[in-house]
Chain A
């Protein structure tokens, strides 16, 4: 179909043309990351549209009546639909493979041609932080529940809550939890804080180092916007060496500290100590409170795979989404005419991609909002919420299976994640949708006359 050709040309133009038109932050890492992000986002989007448009082959068979000659042959209608779905899926496999191979080739092309050509540091950063598959472990947050309960009981005994109107104990305990958490993650000038990481299952034979990634905010901006501190990795009590890293890092940006992997204890525990004091004696000391915000978590990264493996898993995730879309397009085309089928499938596609955004953004979908109405309106509001939740159950949330960001930031696209997508998208929901299509198509009169 000519439509498929147009989409292929667009995808080819994007994947091949992007390296010549984007720069990112002018660094090699930025250029590659920008390319990967745009290339795979555009490819996924365009292939999704193409998958929906390819359902036209079923619509055309119905409208032009080629179907008359097929269903009068010993071919079951479910076989016909399954064949259409397999054809669209097969084409998507080819297109995705072509896009993946081309993108991989263009990454290497960028590496060879991006100026300055002799920047070893830039290339090393790219190799360590993008062209890898790293697993991230967040720090272990201490359990403050005892402290929270104790303070809550103390306050209650002192009668601090008696005069509070509409007092909610749960809300108060949440406030106390935030307070303790904030106290813990904020490190005052001259103070230190110990962080623990668990299940840092680094393979020392494969990868001799780990990375600590963090972003710090300060209470008092220095003129050069740089804070100075010390990180100490390891725990002698557990038999690991201690390694120290004195850092000068910009405020409000992510930074990575590399350290030898032998600081991780054999049981996978890593002890990291942060000292908020200037280790550089000859540099000015700006005393600051450093805040590690929960929205920008501190995490340990260690390499568990290769960029190539990550790329393949990303393509599998994209393929799972396309398989569901193909089934959806087949379902719509088996019931409606092509324009209506396209509209329905596109609506579901957009909904699947924006589901999380809608849930987060639309207040009326929350239960609290529903109780604001009178009983009749509340019933309809509850019904609407129920229907929306039912739709959310059937229509997958595509944002849960979007791995482009992971690929771009060198994060591992986990096998469990891929298997989850294969089971939920490619198997369960795809076959539910295809099964529904087969059921409806079986009952359809293909020679039906509209009067």
Chain B
């Protein structure tokens, strides 16, 4: 079990100076940088061009050596080979072998991790599904678009189910669908307890997924902290309500004036985020089965990237309505669930969880057309929602699943069925 008391990454007085051919110092890329990345958090590394982000990441990976100071990964030197088996790295550019096809690429990197052949094959197929490149798996990587190359790059970074994932500009070159998927993957991995270092110029993406960030400038740390703390505007209060009449608004304004002796700053209709609107349009196009030659929408996070099974995950996989045979699920649930409480009623929290937390699926293309505009979503909290372990619910879902199976639903992967569940 990994030691969760130690920071995953610790940098103390880290400095890097680049020299010219005559060994004269020319560029001080990183100056006295101190930071640490805690286990299980999504950490953002931000800064303008030339601020030292990529240099820091390269020192983290042993591609560069510090001029002064110290950096450690899992309490060991970055050059320690044993550490590398716990790390996944997605570089800024695609540094894959252009003549290998996608399957060969993932198999090659799987071999470097000494994964058994069967495991390599399984993970390769699941990762290709996840990144939406199964249909392009036989094309050389050199023929891929930039976005497709990023996707396969992400897949190779996950082939070893890393504890620590380093993503350098992961959404660069990706369309909004791909960006959303990457962010979903990051969030899902974060929930599973993975530690993630994210370096990106796309601040919206960082804001969406990161727990803590550090901002670099000139090789030095300028700000570090939790995202919600750094961005919180303490001097403004925002309230969201359903559509109000003018009279009601005026009354609210009056209340504020009388109680707080302040004026209401702004009353507007909030806007849907462009990302959401875009995704809705694409969903409609996919529902209409319009043909595309590019990357498809990816699938679920493969099960090997999930941490050790919990009841929550069993429930998740039941909701996803795909995966192993019902008797395996039943056995898994029986193995991990505590002794049944015959008097317990179905927990409201579980039902809400089942209804609310639906992972991205391709069959969502079959949903009804345009959703009404929604208010700006609040970023979900990182803390886990406790789920009551209720055997009655699990059993009910298992029975439903078994009934569906007996009715002839296709439970196996079928690449010819675009809507097949992964």
Contact = CB atoms under 8 A, between A and B. Distances in A.
A451 B20 contact: yes
Interface in A320-341: none
A69 B61 CA distance: 10
A73 B108 CA distance: 11
Contact of A74 (B21, B61, B114): B114
A68 interface: yes
Contacts of A69: 89, 91, 95-96, 109, 156
A52 B21 CA distance: 26
B63 A68 contact: yes
B18 interface: yes
Interface in B2-49: 18-21, 26-27
A73 B91 CA distance: 13
B318 interface: no
Given A65-B95, A72-B61, A75-B81, A451 B19 contact: yes
Interface stretch (A146-154, A269-277, A371-379, A442-450): A442-450
A12 B156 CA distance: 40
Interface string A61-76: 0001111111111111
B84 A68 contact: no
B112 to A, nearest CB: 4
Interface in A21-62: none
Interface string B106-119: 00010011100000
A65 B93 contact: yes
B20 A72 contact: no
A72 B166 CA distance: 11
A66 B64 contact: no
A73 B96 contact: no
A115 B12 CA distance: 83
B18 A449 contact: yes
Contacts of A66: 95-97
A57 to B, nearest CB: 10
B38 to A, nearest CB: 22
B64 A68 contact: no
B89 A72 contact: yes
A74 B109 contact: no
A68 B82 contact: no
B109 A72 contact: no
Contacts of B20: 450-451
B28 to A, nearest CB: 11
Interface string B92-132: 01011100000000000100111000000000000000000
A75 B112 CA distance: 7
Contacts of A446: 63
B18 A447 contact: no
Interface string B49-83: 00000000010011111000000000000000110
A70 B64 contact: no
Given A69-B89, A445-B63, A74 B113 contact: yes
B224 interface: no
B63 A71 contact: yes
B79 to A, nearest CB: 8
B87 interface: yes
B85 A74 contact: yes
B18 A451 contact: yes
Interface in A57-107: 64-76
Interface in A227-277: none
Given A447-B58, A448-B64, A73 B27 contact: no
B363 to A, nearest CB: 34
B26 A70 contact: no
A76 B95 CA distance: 19
A451 B23 CA distance: 10
B148 to A, nearest CB: 17
A68 B95 contact: yes
Contacts of A74: 81-82, 84-85, 112-114
A279 B11 CA distance: 98
Contacts of A75: 81, 84, 112
Contacts of B96: 66, 69
Contacts of A70: 112
Contacts of A68: 61, 63, 89, 91, 95
30 contacts: A66-B95, A66-B96, A66-B97, A68-B61, A68-B89, A68-B91, A69-B89, A69-B91, A71-B61, A72-B61, A72-B84, A72-B87, A73-B85, A73-B112, A73-B113, A74-B84, A74-B112, A74-B113, A75-B81, A445-B64, A446-B63, A447-B64, A448-B18, A448-B64, A449-B18, A449-B27, A451-B18, A451-B19, A451-B20, A451-B26
Given A66-B97, A69-B96, A74-B81, 20 more contacts: A65-B95, A68-B61, A68-B63, A68-B95, A69-B89, A69-B95, A71-B63, A72-B61, A72-B62, A72-B63, A72-B84, A72-B89, A75-B84, A75-B112, A445-B63, A445-B65, A449-B18, A449-B27, A451-B26, A451-B27
Interface of A: 64-76, 445-451
**Lowest 8 A-B CB distances belong to which pairs?**
A447-B63, A73-B112, A74-B85, A451-B26, A74-B84, A65-B95, A447-B58, A72-B89
